[in-house]
Chains A and B, each alone.
Chain A
Amino acid sequence: MNSFLRHSLGRIAGTTCAALLAFGGLTAPTPVHADETCNSPFMGKLIKGQEDFVYVWTLGIEGVGDGSDKLVTIDSNPKSPNYGKVIHKLSVGRRGEAHHMGFTDDRRYLWAGGLDDSRIYVFDVYSNPAKPKLIRTIADMPAKTGLVGPHTFYAMPGRMLVQFLSNTKDHGGVTGMAQFTNKGKLIRTHAMPTDNGGDGYGYDIGINPGKNVMLTSSFTGWNNYMMDLGKLVQDGEAMKRFGSTMVLWDLKTMQPKTTFSVPGSPLEIRWSLKEGDNWAVVATALTSKIWLVKQDGSGQWQAKDVATIGDPSKIPLPVDISITADGKGLWVNTFMDGKTRYFDLTDPENPKQTFEKETGKQVNMVSQSWDGKRVYITSSLLANWDKKGDADEQFVRAFNWDGQDLSLAFEVDFHKEKLGRAHHMKFGTKAVRAAHGPQSTPVRVAASDVPGR
């Protein structure tokens, strides 16, 4: 990161520190191409109607409730008497920097990870979608793989591909991915490339099976994401250790084909889901840009900066994006200014911002329903990067989108409910019931693993 950006981000973080002082949807019988716009194309059982539940992977806060990370279930069906209320919470009995989640290909199990303790939790969201159960905890990945900080959980047929952020040797950003069976058995690891322009960093995964390609992006290692943001931005050496690449992989061989230079830490990857489209977008956190990865006329993949998000000099910090099912629109959340923006992607080479609204004092994840009519927003980025004092709002806010404005449908105050920091969201449905199959039974992969120990 250049000194100007470092200075700007430091100024904002300093302000933050100063403030401290003061689906009724039915599911399709079989998978089509993608989940509610942002998940693996190998995932089945799309919720194309009204989602019944929003699962929120929540960071515990010391002294708040039981202080542990937890999976919070919110009733999101307007026809329900519990609409907009927390109907279930499942504590994992410890704090490990809860971050992201992902469904298995059959949508029966929800994998969730802790960036600090590197634990992976597997929740059964199928037996009773209103009351998820913890059925498996994988606690020994750092020892087995040398990888730290499981971030993205991406369904592949019968398997889960997990992108890590860091490593056991120096807790820096050089990392890798690991493949598991859906039951949590490690199959193999894949190192992020450090040659041919690769920086070895990782963050998100996006697969386009019709092109036999996988994209990965790059963030930073444990040393940085666990550091207080105010301290981090004053550490010039640490600020150099952010990812600046995306890698295009051959999906079948799992070998890197091309490394793109994408400065400023490219984060979430979203492929257009429109049939025949051959492009994906990503937002860069530190440089506040939208990048397009697309095949050119000769079939070669290229990456280019196509739009600016807000005023990069103010480091709005775009942290999550959500693409519409038709590939024509993109929601962008910027953490620092608390804004939710909408970009018209009709011409992906030239995205145009058409809407913006402050949806919180700090905002992080943004998830939309398949029909694009509902948009959900959470507040927490990382425990040590969230704002301080009154600006440290913690919530899930649900909005209705009529194409012109976002109107608040409901809000759950995670401070008031003594839940913690609201981070990642996934949708649930009660529309499917078991026809066959055994009941879920608790299984532990690592004998030493007991929640709460």
Chain B
Amino acid sequence: MSRGADLARTFLALALTSLAPAVAAHQITPPSADFVAPAAGSYRLERIYRAPSGRVVDVHGSAAPIARYTQGRATLLSLMYTQCNDEKGCPLALHTLDVVRKQLARMPQAKNRVRLVSLSFDPARDTPAVLRDYAGDRVRTLPAVPWSFLVPAAGPALGQLLEGFEQDVSRANGQDGTASADLSHVLKVFLIDRHGWVREIYSTSYLVPQVVINDVKTLLMEDGARFP
């Protein structure tokens, strides 16, 4: 097995040491990643599209434009909902971001230059209080790489954000043909540069911590950061 695969599995093992709210760690099957992630700065990340605008509410109930959370720093943003029970969906993203964040927090070059955001697309159920419980101590720890849990404000924000991030959300039909309460979506985590451009999009098959970390480093290198 390659060194990269070892690293990837180590990261994932670390990730699985904490519990996701909806899915137990042992239920999560990380994506297979049997390769050495290309070195940071050895490739370019395209400007895919601008992160959308819209108002969001944090776990304290405070509203603000989402630009406050998508500009000024490199941002890893996960679109999610707290009741997602698919082990290859939101719980996997949460764990992967946990791992990535811990690694980034050890890098002086990332201090105060990177943030994480989990943005719910289920405002009917994911109230600020629900998000606060879901987030646990993530909103308080590792302040050098802060993590915000947000939900769209009432009104058009949900549609604007889903449309802007090109995120599908649908309901699967139950056996009787009626709509299920479960939301179906393709897992997407976005890497956004400090100018608000989406530079990479990850889904289940490619949500590999070392790839994400090297992408963040690549963005930081654009702004002059150096990594040994």
Q: Which A residues fall within an 8 A CB radius of B?
A: 26-33, 41-42, 44-45, 105-108, 126, 156-159, 179, 181-183, 185, 187-188, 209-213, 250, 252-255, 275-276, 278, 299, 430-438
Contact = CB atoms under 8 A, between A and B. Distances in A.
A185 B49 contact: yes
B169 interface: yes
Contact of B173 (A26, A30, A108, A252): A26
Contacts of A299: 2
Chain B interface residue bracket vs A: 35 or more
A281 B26 CA distance: 34
B188 to A, nearest CB: 6
B168 A188 contact: no
A156 B166 CA distance: 13
A433 B179 contact: yes
Q: Name, among B35, B88, B203, the residue most crowded by chain A CB atoms within 10 Å (CB to CB).
A: B203
A436 B89 contact: no
B31 interface: yes
A252 B201 CA distance: 12
A209 B187 contact: no
Interface stretch (B37-45, B94-102, B133-141): B37-45
B172 A27 contact: yes
A73 B206 CA distance: 33
Nearest to A181: B49
A420 B107 CA distance: 61
Contacts of B86: 28-30
Interface in B27-67: 31-35, 37-38, 42-43, 46-49
Q: Name, among A126, A212, A255, the residue most crowded by chain B CB atoms within 10 Å (CB to CB).
A: A212
A31 B203 contact: yes
Given A26-B173, A209-B206, A252-B43, A31 B186 contact: yes
B68 interface: no
Contacts of A27: 172, 184
Contacts of B184: 27-30, 45, 432, 435
19 contacts: A26-B172, A29-B183, A30-B186, A31-B88, A44-B168, A44-B203, A106-B166, A157-B203, A187-B48, A210-B35, A212-B37, A254-B43, A278-B34, A434-B169, A435-B184, A436-B158, A436-B159, A437-B159, A437-B162
